[in-house]
Amino acid sequence: MYSFLNDYSEGAHPKIMEALMETNDAQSVGYGMDEYCRLACDAIYKRLGTMAPDVHFLVGGTQTNLTFISHCLKDYQAVIACDDGHINVHETGAVESSGHKILTKEHQYGKVTVEMIEDIMKNHEDEHKVQPKMVYISQTTEWGTYYTLSQLEDIYAYCQENDLYLFMDGARLGSSTVLEDAPSMKQIAQNVDAFYIGGTKMGALFGEALVICNDDLKDGFRYQLKNKGAMLAKGRLLGVQFYTLLENDLYEEIGIYENRMADKLRTALKEKYPLYLPSSTNQIFVDIPNNDLKEIEKEFMVTHMKTLDKTRTRIRMVTSWATDEKQVDRFIELINSI
C-alpha cells in the first residue's frame, strides 16, 4: 500500500539527514543561540532582502500558532479566520486554551476575504464583545488554494487601516512560493505582520521558522517560547534543517517537485472525476464514486474528507518531496483502467 495521505509520512529529505549527520558531533550552545540557527537566519534574511525581521525556530505548526497568537493578543482580543482555518478546526482548541476566541466566517475557496473581515469588524464595536485584533490566513489553504499577491496586499491594506495584525501560517508555504501569481517570501514579508516558513510538511524532520516583521510584536518572544514549552534544547537541529532547506534552492525544488507530482495526478483525475476547488498546489480534492475508490484503495491510501452521498466520496491526496513518481504513474494507470 502506498500512501498519499499527507506530506509528512516519511522522515526528512536526504540532504537534511546528511546535514544532521555531518554536524552531529559538534558541540554547540542550546536553545537556538547556536551558529546553525544564525546561518539559517541569514539565509532567510537574504531571501527577504532585509535583516529587519526577527526569526525564531519552533518545532510544529500548532505550537507555532498558539505560541505566537497568544503572544500578540490581550485577554479580550480575538483572531479572525475562515471556518475551515487550521486553528479553528484541527488544533483541539489550542488557541482558545491559550485564552482567545476565534471569530469565523465561511471560507471562500478556502480563503479569508476582505469582505469577511469587514463583516466581523462591523459586528464588534464595544466591550460587550471580543475585540478582533488579528487575521489568520494559511498559505496554502486547507483546500490547496492560495492567496495571490494582489489578494494578500488587499487584506494587509485592510488590516493596517483597521489596526489588525495579519499572520500567515505557512505550513505548506513552499508549494505556493513557486507559483507565478503567488507572493514570494519577500513579498509576503512586506505584506504581513508575521508569517512562518513551514518545515515539517516541506521536507524537514520537523520545524517551522517564524518571521516577525512588525516591530511591536518582537519584544519578549524568546520568553514566550520558553513559557509555552516551545524552545527546543538542541535548537541547533532547527538551524541545521532550515539552513539546508534555504541556503540554496532546496526549499523551492521541493515545492516544484511536489506540485509537479500533484499536477500529474490532477490531470489524470480530472479526466474522469470532478475536482473540488481549483487547487494547483500539492493537495488534490476530488469527488470519486465509491466503486472506483474501492479499487484505488486496494493499492493506495487516501484521506476520506466527506461522504457526498451514498455513491460518492470526496477524497484528499497529497504529494511531497518524498512522493515516488513510479507510484504516481501506477496510480494514473490504475484509474485509467477502472
Q: Is the distance from CB of 328 to CB of 265 less than 8 angstroms?
A: yes
Residues 6+ apart with CB under 8 A from 285: 143, 144, 275, 276, 277, 279, 305, 314, 315, 316
What DSSP state is assigned to residue 208? E
Question: How big is the CA angle at 313 (ends 259 and 295), to the nearest 5 degrees?
Answer: 80
Q: Is the distance from CB of 202 to CB of 172 less than 8 angstroms?
A: yes
Of 148, 187, 214, 224, the residue at the interface with a second copy (CB under 8 A) is: 224
Per CB under 8 A, which of residues 116..145 are in contact with a second copy? 127-131
Give whichever of 106 and 180 is closer to a second copy, judged by the CB atom: 106
Using CB under 8 A, which of the segments 85-93, 111-119, 242-250, 311-319 binds a second copy? 85-93
- Minimum distance, C-beta of residue 180 to a second copy, in the bound complex (Å): 29
Using CB under 8 A, which of the segments 136-144, 197-205, 270-278, 328-336 binds a second copy? 197-205
Question: Dihedral (C-alpha) 147, 151, 155, 160: value to the nearest 10 degrees?
Answer: 120
**Residue 107 interacting with a second copy (CB under 8 A):** no
Give whichever of 73 and 246 is closer to a second copy, judged by the CB atom: 73
Give whichever of 115 and 163 is closer to a second copy, judged by the CB atom: 163
**Residue 200 interacting with a second copy (CB under 8 A):** yes
Of 30, 49, 274, 278, the residue at the interface with a second copy (CB under 8 A) is: 30
Per CB under 8 A, which of residues 236..275 are in contact with a second copy? 236-237
What are the beta bridge partners of residue 291? none
Q: 3-state class of 72 per DSSP?
A: helix
Using CB under 8 A, which of the segments 40-48, 57-65, 141-149, 188-196 binds a second copy? 57-65
Question: What is the size of the binding site for a second copy (CB under 8 A)?
Answer: 77
**Residue 21 interacting with a second copy (CB under 8 A):** yes
Give whichever of 234 and 272 is closer to a second copy, judged by the CB atom: 234
Residues 6+ apart with CB under 8 A from 284: 144, 262, 265, 266, 269, 275, 316, 317, 318
The three three-digit cell numbers of residue 260, written as one number: 509537479
Peptide bond into 140 cis (omega under 30): yes
Per CB under 8 A, which of residues 272..331 are in contact with a second copy? 322
Of 37, 55, 56, 67, the residue at the interface with a second copy (CB under 8 A) is: 67
Q: Is the distance from CB of 133 to CB of 165 less than 8 angstroms?
A: yes
Using CB under 8 A, which of the segments 183-191, 233-241, 255-263, 267-275 binds a second copy? 233-241
Identify the CA nearest to 295 among candidates 274, 315, 322.
315
**Residue 94 interacting with a second copy (CB under 8 A):** yes
Of 44, 57, 65, 243, the residue at the interface with a second copy (CB under 8 A) is: 65
